[in-house]
Every structure is written in C-alpha cells, then in structure tokens.
Structure 1
C-alpha cells in the first residue's frame, strides 16, 4: 500500500488542535509569592490572561435556589460551560465558592454532577449516586448562603476532547474494551463509550502536556484560575470572601488553586490527602495524572504543598476505608498538617470508603459558612459528628 492509500491518522488532540500554539504563546501564570510561583512552574500553569466574558445562557429558580448557566471561551479548545447557583431572591454580595468536580473516571460530564438541573444527562445522576451520596453539592452549598460557580475544567464535560475518531493507541485499547462488553452482553451508553476512551486517552493528554512544558494538573489549574476570576467579577459575589471545595480529584484541584491564588481565603479538601511515599508501590496506579505531575515531589510532600497557600484556613476530610489511600498515609499527612498549620488546619476522619457522604458535605458547608461569613437562607444542614 502506498503512502497515499494509507488511512489518515486521526488527531491525537481532536478539538484542541489550537492548544500547542496557545501554550507556546503564553507566559507562566504569575503567583503572588515565590513559594506559589515554584508550584506554578512545576505544574507548568499557563497565564490565563484577562477574565473572559461570560455569557448567561439561561436562568431558572427552583426549590429555593436560582441557577444560571454560563459559558465562556478561553484562548483554546471548546467553549466552557459553568453554572452559577445562589439562594433565590438573595442578590448579595454573597461569599463566593468555586465547586470543583471530581475526576471519577467520568469525563463525558463535568460540573453537571454538582448541580440540580431539570434536564441533566443520566451520567450526572450516576456520578452523584456513586460519589456524592446522591446530592448535588453546588446546589446544597448555595442553599447555605453562597454564590457557587461550578464549571467544566480542561478535558471534562464541555471541555472534553473529541474522541469520535479516537487516535490509534486509544482506539486499539477501546476495541479490547468493546470486545469484553460484547462478551458480557453489555451495550454501553454514549457516556460509557466516551469515558472508556477518555480513560485510555488521558495518557496521550499528559504526554502532550509534558511535551509543551505543562501538565494535566497545570492545564486544569489554568481553567480553574480563569473560573475563579469570573466568580470574583460577578456582582452577586463579595470578592474578599472566596473559597473552594472539592472531592477526590476536585480536592486536589482545591489545594492547588488555594496555593496558586491569594483570592482563596478558605477551602476544603475531601478524600484527597496522603503522603506521596504511601502511594508507593501499591497505590500509585489507582490515581490519575491530576496527582502525579512529574517532578512535583521535589517541592515537598503533598500535605507540605499547603504551606504555599496564603489562605486563612482549610479543612481536610479523610475516609478511613478509602480504597485509593492507605490509612497510614492519611494519618501521616494529618500529623504533618497539624505541625505546619497549628491554627488554620482542621482535619476529620470519617468511616466508609471513597465517597463524599451527606455528613461530610454538611461538615464542609458548615465550616465554609462559618469562616466565610455565609448566612443560611433555606439551609438544609444537620450537625453530623465524624468518627475518628
């Protein structure tokens, strides 16, 4: 077969062909302190530029909250979708919170798993049932008196790659998965097909990022920093009272965002804290590239990265039966954090596995409301005591 007769090689970064040029043309994100700048350099975070103009696509009020779908265009890739959720009839200025969705092996969707939507894709409900105790986290936080922005980040939801024609390596692995499904009599949904492909494709994304001098975590931080600036600019929001929270990969995003941006005053990390050493040799393969940026350990252990943040305080929630983190590593991280932050750190240990339970959510919301000065119009918060 001649070269002319060979099938065209699919794009390895479909939907993001403008990504390399964007990164090559950008300076690094400039942090407020030298310590934060070291993290920015290690992750390769591109400067996000001026806050993009956000368009309001629609607004509706239901069950005590007003939800607006926003969208904005960053300097590359698909347009971003996000949702602003706030208490109905309350216009602020309210404390603002960035709700950061998890990885969850679900890149077909993004922040839709955190928001109550009338026409949500079934994958959002599945993500809530599997990881959030069936609750829409951003909507619950808004009911406690916050203006909450939940956005799709780089490679998720509206920002996902186009894998309708997967690149060769991804396609080969996907065919093996399809074969197993056929053998098991399973007919995968569109979301399941995409997520299987995206799971294999994440290595290609990380490889591309590394070639460009950035990382998957750095690109996610780029999108999160842009969303934070949009949140701070909204008239409903008090820019002096901003926080963030996230579960699992979203917890890693919260820690990174708090370290990079002085806007974050308080934050919550749920089921995403351990020592790097505890992940070796058996637990490393359980995690995505969000936690495993090459060379990151040179800056210190995962809990030590919190010292690069200027936040007033933070809460870390641990699950004692977490399948992704050994208990010894979580306990070691807790002791490190207590020594580093004798006044600003709060840690709590909960029974159960890798799930952001209703009780944990209640604790996180109560903590953020107390520290960022939120009221509780229509709040549905009950006191729940964790088990140490």
Structure 2
C-alpha cells in the first residue's frame, strides 16, 4: 500500500482487527492469583481474568503414529476462537501426566501450535486444512531449524504424556486481522513488497502476513499499555485458560501437570509456573539470562514477550523461576545462543543455583545455537517423566548435572 493509497482511504483502518472487543475485556479486574507473590506478577503484567474452565469443542480426532490427535477449540472472552491440539498415546487407559507445550515466537505468527504437532496426512503437510486462518502448511524450515525437524508435542505424547498445544494471543487462530493493514504497518512492509515485485516473487498469504505481524507487534504493545495490560500478560491469560482446559481433559491427571517451552515459549513457561500452582514441574529452553546482559547489544534480539514494562521492579528475569511454587525446573542453555550472551546465561545460572532450594533447580549447558535440539528434547522428556512420575519413563539418559560445568 502506497502513501497515496492511504491518503485516498476515507476511513483509517482498525489497528485491532479481529480484536475490537479487547478493550472492553481488558477493562475488567485482573486475574485472581492464589498467592500474594503471584498476584504481584499478575498486576505488573496486567493479566486479564479467565473463566474457571473454558468450554471447549472437539472439532476433529484421528489415530496415527501411535497417538490420538484431537483438534479442540474454545472461545475466550475476546478476540477470535482458539485452536488447539490434544495428543496422547493410544492403548493407555490410566490417567497420564499432562504437559502444556508452549510454542515459540520464531518470528512467524501465521502458525502457532501447529509447529509442535504432527497432523495426520503427508507428514503434517495438511496443516492448512485445519487452520482457521488459512495460511497453509507449517513452513518446513520452522520445525527443521528450531526443533530438529521433530513435532515436539506429538513426540512427547509418544513418550507417555498427554499433551496440549494451543495457539497463543497473536499467533495462528489467535492472530490479528491484517487484511486491511493499519497505516504504520503498511508503510513498514512497503519495501519488502517492492523487493518481491522486482524479483518476480509471488508471496504466499503467510509470507505477506508474517512481516506485517512482526511490525504490528509494536502496535499491539502500545494498545496493551493503553489498556493496562501487556503482551506477556495477555499471552499468560491464554496460557492460563489452556492449562485449565488441560487439567479438565479426560485421561489427564490434574495432580501431575507440567509445561515446556523453547525460546518465547520458555518465557511463557516461566510466567505460567509463577502464576499457577497447578504446574508441578517445567522446562525452560533457551530463554534465560539477566536483564543487565541485554544492554546494550541484545535489546533488539527479543520481542515484547520479554520486555514487559515494570517487570524489572519485581527482580531480575531469573526471579520469575524463584517465584514459582513448582517442585522442579530444568533450564537449558545454549552456549552459542545468538540471542543471549554467555555471561548473562552464566550469571542467571549462578543466581538460580544460589536462590532456589536444593533439588528444585537443574541447569544444563549445551553446545550449539538457539535451537531445541532432539537431544535437548530428550533431556527435557526425561526430566518431566522423572518429576511428574510418568507411567513409563522413556529410555533416555537421565539429566546430567555435570553439564553445568561446560
């Protein structure tokens, strides 16, 4: 869209497409946490209230690859309907430990939880058929580059867990409508569209959406500030609702719930565990450092999921882990992580080692870049199996505390 196009429009486009009901919802009181520490975090992030258990609908169900994959959806108090996938192993009737699998940011908002789930068909290539927003299959490089090519939620179910993966606020089914782009966003992506035209590239709908959504995150952060909330707080709202759904699903033991997330999903896991006593253990992968280490060179490496106004007044980033009542947490660090300096990761590990009660914190350092490798996933599964006492522990090497010496 050119400047002339914008000038010729009689009405300025909405900056909150599909979310025009968000302001009224955010005006309600904050989420009621179960402890003063959790309520302090709620009020800082501006977490909106959630229904006790959102009423979900079963949309699809198939058996494949040793699992049952059920497509679920539910309507929260604002914005579009949430899509989610519940995956559990076939042939097991006893209640299973439940895992909330939290998708990463990844710079791709056209797809959310689908990146973690193997959908029946051509190795997940039919993902677009179940995506309400119609962006087609999950980009192959997303899973290959960040998860070692593994659909992590499906794989965790194959190891004996009941796993729920849902689209969070701003991603997939919970994305903003950018068909009529806000003027600031339209200006920001004009250059990219011009380059495509010059190169003769015909971008897909997802190609068009993702750069617009990346720029639009700044607008969403502004809106959240005006509404007395934050992006991290509104994402936490969606995650708390999904956790309530997981706890209510048949075949899930509500006394054995955990969560795991990579990158932005790891930050979501930290916030969720600090807010909800339902989380018994969790894994944070490639999302740990100190606030000081982000200055001055690493500020633009991260989204508004990390940079929440007022959060530093409550302590450092690792202090979110200290606030959690979960029995155990595994934090995985990547020594060649291009998004976090090693010194910041080392300082965070030392902070947690000193502040956390004995036996509750495990830190492991891995060679390599910002990825959730299959070996790291295996360590995470072993940790969750041990701490949540899964029915059948997978045959992986146990978590190795010696890795902290790397």
Q: TM-score w.r.t. structure 2 length? A: 0.91
In the alignment, the residues of structure 2 paired with residue 368 and residue 29 of structure 1 have an alpha-carbon distance, to the nearest angstrom, of: 28
Q: Please list, as runs of the form range in 1=range in 2, the aligned pairs for 1:164-179 lying within 5 A after superposition.
A: 164-179=179-194
Give the counterpart of 1:284 among 299, 316, 324.
299
Q: CA deviation at 1:184?
A: 4.3
Give the conservation status (yes or no) of the 8 Å contact 2:382–2:399: no
Change beyond 3 A, Cα 1:373–1:383? closer
2:164 to 149, 159, 163: 149
Tell me if the contact between 1:123 and 1:191 (Cα under 8 Å) persists in the aligned partners: no
Check the 8 A contact 1:110/1:156 in 2, yes or no: yes
1:236-247 mapped onto 2 (5 Å cutoff): 236-247=251-262
**Counterpart position of 1:376:** 392
Residue number in structure 2 paired with 1:70: 72
Following the alignment from structure 1 to structure 2, what is the Cα–Cα distance between the partners of residues 380 and 122? 32
Counterpart of 1:109 in structure 2 is 111
Does residue 17 (structure 1) correspond to residue 57 (structure 2)? The answer is no
Give SS of 1:278's match.
helix
The residue matched to 1:246 in structure 2 has which SS?
strand
Within 5 Å, which residues of 2 pair with 1:357-376? 357-376=373-392
In the TM superposition, what are the counterparts of 1:83-102 in structure 2 within 5 Å?
Answer: 83-102=85-104
Distance 1:348 1:131 in 2: 18
> How has the CA–CA distance of structure 1 residues 333 and 69 changed in structure 2, closer, same or farther, with 3 Å as cutoff?
same
Q: Which runs of 5+ in 1 are unaligned?
A: none
Question: What whole-Å deviation, never above 9, does each CA across 1:138-189 have from its counterpart, x for those lacking one?
Answer: 0111111111000001110000001111100001111122123334444322
Deviations, residues 262-284 of structure 1 (Å, cap 9, x unaligned) = 00000000000000000000001
| Equivalent in 59, 69, 74 of residue 61 of structure 2 | 59
Contact 1:52 1:74 in 2 (8 A): yes
- Partner residue in 2 for 1:318: 333
Query: How many residues are matched?
Result: 384
Whole-angstrom CA distance in 1 between matches of 2:37 and 2:139: 37
Q: 2:114 touches 2:138 (CA, 8 Å); kept in 1?
A: no
Provide the TM-score with structure 1 as the length reference: 0.95
Q: CA RMSD in A?
A: 1.8
Deviations 1:40-72 (A, max 9, x none): 111000111231111111111111111100000
Does residue 8 (structure 1) correspond to residue 11 (structure 2)? The answer is: yes
1:349 to 365, 377, 384: 365
